[in-house]
Structure 1
Amino acid sequence: MTAAVIPHPRWRVPLLGDVLGTSRRTPVQDTMRMGRDLGPVFTRRFLDQEIVFVGGAALAADLADESRFAKHLALGVEALRDVGGDGLFTAYNEEPNWRAAHEVLLPAFTQSAMRAYHPTMVDVTAQLVGKWDRGGVVDVSGDMTKLTLETIGRVGFGYSFESFSRAETHPFVRAMIGSLRYAQRKNFVLPLVRKVFGREAEERYQRDLAYLAEVVDEVVRSRRGSGGSDLLGLMLSSGELDEVNIRNQVITFLIAGHETTSGALSFALYYLSRHPEVAEKARAEVDAVWGSADVPEFEQVAKLRYVRRVLDEALRLWPTAPGFAREARADTVLGGRYPMRAGQWALVLLPLVHRDPSVWASPEAFDPDRFAPAAVKARPAHAYKPFGTGERACIGRQFAVHEATLALGTVLRRYDLVGSPDYRLRVAEMLTLKPDGFTVAPRRR
């Protein structure tokens, strides 16, 4: 068999790599653009790193084979090791704390656990409503971040960030955003340049990390011996995890447990504001299922099947965790054409996989009916992967879906979403993807 040649962008800059026409602020969107020209598999060089990107659904399905491939910590995720250590998201496969923590935390995501979280989710959503009822123009991504961070803080760890009552951003949130931004962007700066010119930024980064650890350690100390069945209670009572790992898990869930869901909600609200016929259909479903009840019951949230399709379609177009990397467990051949040695890895770029025209007709169009049961059944199994794949896929998927569906249903039932007609979608990139500068004026129905 002759190995197929993997294409790369035409112009490469010595030492720097494939940087022409790209920005360190939009690496995902730049790579998407290249992928449209180069095909379902291609390479990009960043400094001394050459990365294989996969944007074709068939090749992504091959990489999802757990018998041949495993999770790999690619550059963007490995950079977060300073922040999350051996937490679930950033642990190496061989680190024992990953499996130990996974087993300890699984009970926190059962249906009975979700039922127990529901009242708190409703309460936090009511705080969002209280803010939006005051009128005016609101920053959607900012408010969705407040909603999801407050939810995971209270539900997971019994901690309130006072997201909707504080006049200023909580210092923990500022430290978290600062550390994430620095960790992600340092990959795009030469080490020598960072060492010579980035000393102040590095010192600020270390202060942010120390503050995150200090706050979490205090939360953990205050909870010792008090029991509880939330995430922190399960970790403290298990006896399986050491204090440093518990801190890493708390930070991991505070970040991963709010960033992805806030982005998904923001994109869903953007598309609802641009497609009034979809919003009306979704609103009619909410009215029919929830009726006149002030607060929806737990079971009523999952019955919002069309609202869920809206969420799924938003995640298809803009999966807020835009990719995951897979490494070969042994020598293998990807897609029957591309040899991979043991340990070699490729990055699945989900916005391209989710736009593969061989799977998705009119892939740029927003159409929630792609997720009608018959359409889902007819589609290849691995064509849609917003929560990752395999045993390292997102443990909190059902938590996120319930929280987001509840929030969308609440907003749809209460408001018409009036967005600026001049706004054109801009996507901000950090750890996740979010609409940038998207505002609405919620108008009471």
Structure 2
Amino acid sequence: MSAISVRASLLRSPAAAYGWPEADRIPHPRHRIPLVGDVIGARPRTPVQESMRLARELGPVFRRRFFGMEVVMVSGPELVGDLADESRFTKRVMLAVRSLRQVAGDGLFTAHSDEPNWRLAHEILAPGFTREAMERYHPTMLDVTGQLLRIWDRHAAAGKPVDVTRDMTRLTLETIGRTGFGYRFDSFERREPHPFVTAMVGALEHAQRRAVTAPVAGPLIARIAGARNAADVRLLNETVDAVIRERTARGRGRGPGAAGGAGPADLLGLMLGSTHPETGERLAPANIRNQVITFLVAGHETTSGALSFALYFLARHPAVLARAQDEVDRVWGTGPAEPRYEQVPRLRYVRRVLDESLRLWPTAPGFIRAAREDTLLAGTHPMRKGAWAVVLVPALHRDPSVWGPDPESFDPDRFLPERVRARPSHVFKPFGTGERACIGRQFALHEATLVLGMLLRRYDLHADPAYRLKVVERLTLMPADLRLTLTPRRTVSTVSYAPGR
């Protein structure tokens, strides 16, 4: 494409410069302002929810422009089906995820697909997510959930509501810290969140703000925000360095055993002690730090959101809650015995509750796909090599052509096996797609199903009738200010959880 034709394309639409030659055919919001773009009505703090509204108004593909950047957003099933084709499209690191590289560098989530450390780390870490590894993590997940139950028991006895989002964040951070890295954050012993959580939230919010408002932020505002982010990144790095130092002091490749001694390799053990099975390469120290940050952030932030949304929906739907509790009682029993690893997947209805929660509010709400070669998207939209589009997952998950005339309603039976088989696989994408899909998916689902089962076996959940769901965005999605009141279930024998078992 010549320089003259590029300039001519830019007069029509900046998207042409990003490889969308006929972007004029793609609708955009009304009231677009020349040079500035679609700033009227824009909500920088909630760009995902604003894009969901635009998808309802403009359809399955539309474009948004902010100054010189124009982004094409896609949610139609046919379009997403094409973008999920690994032979034609691949992951692209853009927008807020690119901004997050200041924190996680070339970690698994933020690495470009052609960066060698992505595939090297993926191959080295794959054994950390096998069935055998999940079985090793299970006792620690039970232990951490037991810590949560002791706190929630006290709240239930006092009639005090629990802060769901805060406590789910504590639980999932402690779980990934101990199972993946043999490190205790002592999350339940703290009155305030661990400094790592505070810094992580600041870094995620900064990455999103930078992607959305960078063109309009004044130099002074940008400098102040950058200084704050630098302090957050420094604390994240210092925390991870402490995790790695603690491990190397007791041996590089072994994880903590059941009684605190040397056990099988966990994620950090694999990174420190393993080599690529074919090339013999090792991960460099800088990349190990990036991977640890990636797993600590992504490994707890998204799962805590998924649990929080699931508890919100359960408390709002008493019939669903009762059905889920009945399944837990029937499959696990009502006595004091802790669930075994193989019992967790038997909670099929509880898992459907999780899936339906992730359908309505996928905590990782989007991913970006780029064309490997010049192509035609869904037989309609020309895309040049390198052109990219954002898949807006919450809008995909609400498409009436797939999910029926009432896609906003909460119905776990949408995920009955026969209904899942009747749908294309690409219409449910809470964990991304293709070879860059979340490596920790099975870890997250086992943890979340286990935790929900243990909570449902122990408590009835009561929502505040005045509460209205507010979703906060910091790259991930999370319900804000969600509190529930608990009452112990009379049918359940009291389980005595000993700390630090």
Q: Specify if TM > 0.5.
A: yes
Answering whether residue 78 of structure 2 is matched by residue 58 of structure 1, we say yes
Equivalent residue for 1:353, pick from 383, 392, 396: 396
Alignment match, 1:154 = 178
Q: Match of 1:237?
A: 273
**In the alignment, is residue 85 of structure 1 matched against residue 105 of structure 2?**
yes
- 2:231 is the alignment partner of 1:207: yes
Letter in 1 for 2:272: L
Gaps of 5+ in 1: none
1:182 and 2:206 equivalent? Answer: yes
- Answering whether residue 303 of structure 2 is matched by residue 261 of structure 1, we say yes
Distance in 2 of aligned mates of 1:182 and 1:305: 38
| 1:283–1:195 distance in 2 versus 1, CA, 3 Å | same
Structure 1 match to 2:95: 75
How far apart are 1:293 and its partner, in Å?
4.3
Please give the alpha-carbon distance, in whole angstroms, between the structure 1 residues aligned to 2:174 and 2:67: 39
The one-character-per-residue Cα deviations of 1:175-211 (angstroms, maximum 9, x if unpaired) are 2221221122122334573422332322121122112
AA aligned to 2:56 is R
Alpha-carbon distance in structure 2 between the residues aligned to 1:130 and 1:208: 31
1:309 counterpart residue number? 352
User: Does 2:427 align with 1:383?
Assistant: yes
Instruction: Answer yes or no: is the 8 Å Cα contact 1:57–1:354 preserved in 2.
Output: no
Residue 466 of structure 2 corresponds to which residue in structure 1? 422
- Deviating more after overlay: 232-241 vs 387-396: 232-241
Residue 48 (structure 2) pairs with residue 28 (structure 1) = yes
In the alignment, what sits opposite 2:408? 364
Q: Which residue of structure 2 lines up, in the alignment, with residue 276 of structure 1?
A: 318
Query: How well do the aligned residues superpose, as a CA RMSD in angstroms?
Result: 1.4
Q: Alignment partner for residue 453 of structure 2, among 409, 413, 418?
A: 409
Q: 1:151 to 1:67 in 2, by over 3 A?
A: same
Bigger drift between 234-243 and 13-22 goes to 13-22
CA contact (8 A) 2:252 2:272 kept: no
SS across alignment from 1:246: helix
Match of 1:444? 488
Kept after mapping to 1: 8 A contact 2:97/2:207: no
Q: Secondary structure at the match of 1:388?
A: coil
Q: Distance in 2 between matches of 1:283 and 1:125?
A: 17
- Structure 2 CA distance for aligned equivalents of residues 172 and 293 of structure 1: 34
Question: Is 1:329 paired with 2:372?
Answer: yes
Q: After superposing the two structures, state which structure 1 stretch, 177-186 or 367-376, moved more.
A: 177-186
Could you tell me whether the CA contact under 8 Å between 1:179 and 1:209 is conserved in 2?
yes
Counterpart of 1:250, as a letter, is V
Query: Rg: which structure is higher?
Result: 2
- Give the whole-Å Cα distance in 2 for the aligned partners of 1:308 and 1:193: 43
| Distance in 1, Cα, partners of 2:488 & 2:55 | 43
Equivalent pair of 2:366/2:390 in contact (CA under 8 Å):
yes
The aligned residue for residue 294 of structure 2 is 252
Deviates more, 1:174-183 or 1:433-442: 174-183
TM-score (ref. length: structure 2) = 0.87
Q: 2 CA distance for matches of 1:435 and 1:187?
A: 22
Identity of aligned residues (%): 62
In 2, Cα distance between equivalents of 1:72 and 1:201 = 26
Cross-structure match for 2:154: 134
Deviation of the 1:415 alpha carbon: 0.5
* Alpha-carbon distance in structure 2 between the residues aligned to 1:172 and 1:108: 23
Cα distance in 1 for partners of 2:445, 2:53 equals 29
* Cα-to-partner distance string for 1:307-365 (whole Å, 9 max, x where unaligned): 00000000000111001000000000000000000000011001110011111111111
**DSSP-derived class of the 1:133 partner:** helix
Conservation of the 8 A alpha-carbon contact between 1:159 and 1:219:
yes
SS in structure 2 at match of 1:134: helix
Deviation at 1:214, TM superposition (A): 1.7
CA contact (8 A) 2:179 2:266 kept: yes
Rounded to whole Å, the distance in 2 between the matches of 1:121 and 1:19 is: 45
Tell me the secondary structure at the aligned position of residue 425 of structure 1. coil
> Which secondary structure state, in structure 1, belongs to the residue aligned with residue 188 of structure 2?
coil
